A and B are shown apart, each in its own frame.
Chain A
Amino acid sequence: MNERKPVGQENTMEAAASRKKSAAKPAKLGRDVQARLGQQLRAMYDEVVNQGVPDRFTDLLNRLNNNGSKDGQ
């Protein structure tokens, strides 16, 4: 039937228009996307945080502390 075609075309055009719309304003991120990006970011960061304090830093502070208390050494 002839009537079907225009309808299909219209849908395609609508789809194209909505794609265009979403591409035209990338500045507004959905909350779900933001939440997901935040999750990834914290996972990456926490991977390092969970390693705790490496010995070199505890040693450094102890050394400085001892030097300090020996007054002038």
Chain B
Amino acid sequence: MAMDESVRKAILGAVPSLRAFAISLCGNVDRADDLVQETLLRALANIDSFQPGTNMSAWLFTILRNHFRSEYRKRRREVEDSDGRYAETLKSQPEQYGQVEYREFREALAQLPQDQREALILVGASGFSYEEAANICGCAVGTIKSRVNRARTRLAELMHVNSAEDFGPDETVRAVLASGE
């Protein structure tokens, strides 16, 4: 059975965001891409269970997350270090924006508990509603809300910020640099 063109497009369209989510889960780009590939294979094998008209992206995110979780249980020891490796991966990346604040943010994010990090990313970066995020994670909407709140509070603590001024002059400096003068 050939793949429906609209299904193919919807799947490919979700790939960039799936990758970003996968990297945030497992902290390693190569592993993340394998995770995305396994997700796509699973999705296509079960495409009949996808309900046309519903959110393809949310469906794929659910598969990816469940797959990651079952792998996680299987290979607990190996993956237990994922937060540490995530931090390592980040350190080895070139500092594109050349700013301390940005690096500090990513290191703080890597220190969050898995549940909080994924909730924060689904709602704050992937653009899912609390309801969609709750469906993806298989928990109550209230649980997602409290995880997101705890994640934000913890991030602020880790970065020692109480107000926006505490973020330092980076924003201004960047604006000046960007102006080219």
- Give A residues with C-beta under 8 Å from B: 22, 26-27, 29-30, 32-38, 40-54, 56-58, 60-61, 64-65, 68-69
Contacts and interface: CB of A to CB of B under 8 A. Distances in A.
Q: What is the predominant secondary structure among interface residues of chain B facing chain A?
A: helix
Contact of A57 (B1, B36, B109): B36
Nearest to A58: B12
Interface in B91-132: 96-97, 101-102, 105-106, 109, 120-121, 124-126
Q: What is the predominant secondary structure among interface residues of chain A facing chain B?
A: helix
Given A33-B161, A45-B20, 18 more contacts: A27-B153, A34-B152, A35-B164, A36-B164, A37-B105, A37-B155, A38-B124, A44-B106, A44-B109, A46-B125, A49-B20, A54-B19, A56-B33, A68-B1, A68-B2, A68-B3, A69-B1, A69-B2
B40 A61 contact: yes
Contact of B8 (A30, A32, A61): A61
